A and B are shown apart, each in its own frame.
Chain A
Amino acid sequence: MIKFLQRLISNYKEYFLLVILSIISITLLSLNNKPEIKRLRTFAFGNYALLNEILNYPLSIFKNDYSLKELEEENAKLMLEISRLRSKSLENEHLRSMLNFKDTSSFSLISADVISKLVNKMQGNFIINRGSADGVLIGMPVLNFQGLIGIVVDTAKNFSIVRTLYNNNLNIAVTIERLNIDGILNWDGNKLIIKNIPSTYEIKVGDSVVTSDFSTIFPPRIPVGIISKREEVPIGLLHNLTVKPFVDINSVDNIFVLKVIPSKQINQLEMNLLKK
């Protein structure tokens, strides 16, 4: 029996090796959210990112004008301010104050450079050159002067991982601004879509999409994109909306981390869409 097994293993050792290594990989895939794994990954990318930063330096030398950075920061702040003012014009100010909405009049931004990108059809991730030492925390939104880019999902001392809108593990509660309709925005590998919106609403191509007041991971009213297409769902009175983001996400180099973190009280509820 033992000899038979030995012969079997020696004849098919490549397959046995493949099966064992595949099992290890799949096991690790299922352990992605374990704190030990997160620590290991934080240590690895935090150290390796230094090399990426060196390689990124000659590429960014031509576009790293300090005054340009200042202008971009100013633009980002103005974009947030405009967004806030637009929402105020759409809502009743008195009602907002009565309902004790949070005042979002001051925005603190941390400027950062994208030093590496893991870009593929499903998993859009950036590594940026700001980390916990700069005050970046997990859960902080990432944007530029045009609009929302993503969210910080992991931080090392000097570097952070940003999960972009082009990542199908990120679901965002959004509002179609003109009609105040809420939905969930998700990347399907090809486009950003808001699924199952009742076709009774008169949504137009070109309508602006912002983060929702109900979002547990983003502050409200950050510009996301515009409706670019309406798709009828064959069954029922629903349709899917395609959203074109304001930001050309795959070509961004300079970004800003918005120094706000979602309420821990809300996060403790089962509403947090970041947790799968």
Chain B
Amino acid sequence: MLWNFLKPILIFIPIASIQLVIVPLLSINDINPNIIVILICFYTLKYGQIYGTLLGFVIGLIFDLISGGLLGAFMLTFTIAGFSAGYFYNENKVDIYTTSYAFIIVVFLCSTINSFLYTLISSTDKDFNIFYLILEGSILPGLYTAFFSLPVIILNSRKAFV
């Protein structure tokens, strides 16, 4: 059980570096994918909602500390993203959810929630446009992140056939 929790955290360390160093190069009009959400969704679908919520919290804490952002922001958004992904957890359908296009939908939803909350938390502007928040601050980053979850499906489906 401990190894099940340590494994995603060990995977997270290089992924966090990719998120901070390489992902900004792929930014389209300040819209970035969040590949850490993909990791959280993947392991939540494998091990359940409580696991996903805790994993999101721990990964969020580490990411807040190493990225130089607001401490507590990613903690909260990743916790909620992990909790949201947990609704799709089904012990009998783990392989279906992690090797099919359903995974893209889960990632899209969780990433949209994550982006929405992060934009909301980090905004200090009182004249905030809700339409902008939903579209540019949530849906577009969600779609972009979902696109980046394609390799995960491909790799996992290949593993399933081996």
B-binding residues in A (CB < 8 A): 13-14, 17-18, 21-22, 24-32, 37, 40-41, 44-45, 48-49, 51-52, 55-56, 59, 115-123, 125, 127, 154, 161, 166, 168-169, 186, 188-190, 250, 276
Contacts and interface: CB of A to CB of B under 8 A. Distances in A.
Nearest to B20: A116
A18 B80 contact: yes
B71 interface: yes
A17 B60 CA distance: 15
Contacts of B75: 21, 24-25, 28
Contact of A125 (B32, B65, B69): B69
A25 B76 contact: yes
A125 B122 contact: no
Interface in B63-89: 64-73, 75-76, 79-80, 83, 86
B118 interface: yes
Contact of B119 (A29, A32, A52, A189): A189
Contacts of A127: 20, 67-68
A31 to B, nearest CB: 8
Nearest to A57: B21
A168 B122 contact: yes
Given A13-B50, A55-B18, A22 B76 contact: yes
10 contacts: A14-B50, A14-B86, A17-B50, A21-B57, A24-B75, A26-B76, A30-B72, A45-B66, A123-B69, A189-B125
B122 A118 contact: no
B53 A118 contact: no
Contacts of A21: 53-54, 57, 75, 79
B68 A22 contact: no
B92 interface: no
B65 A56 contact: no
Given A29-B71, A168-B124, 10 more contacts: A25-B76, A26-B72, A28-B71, A29-B72, A49-B66, A117-B21, A122-B118, A122-B119, A168-B125, A186-B125
Contacts of B62: 44
A29 B13 contact: no
B20 to A, nearest CB: 4
Nearest to B122: A122
Interface residues of B, number: 50
A25 B65 contact: no
Interface of B: 13, 16-18, 20-22, 24-25, 27, 30-32, 49-50, 53-54, 57, 60, 62, 64-73, 75-76, 79-80, 83, 86, 115, 118-119, 121-125, 127-128, 132, 136-137, 141
Contacts of B30: 119-121, 166, 250
A166 B123 CA distance: 12
A190 B79 CA distance: 26
A123 B77 CA distance: 15
A216 B31 CA distance: 32
Given A55-B22, A56-B21, A189-B125, A120 B32 contact: yes
Contact of A118 (B25, B50, B67, B115): B67
Contacts of B13: 51
Given A119-B32, A168-B122, A29 B21 contact: no
Nearest to A168: B124
A31 B127 CA distance: 25
Nearest to B13: A51
B21 A118 contact: no
Given A119-B27, A250-B27, A28 B20 contact: no
Nearest to A124: B30
A55 B67 contact: no
A184 B68 CA distance: 25
Name the residue among B67, B136, B141 with the largest chain A CB count within 10 angstroms. Answer: B67
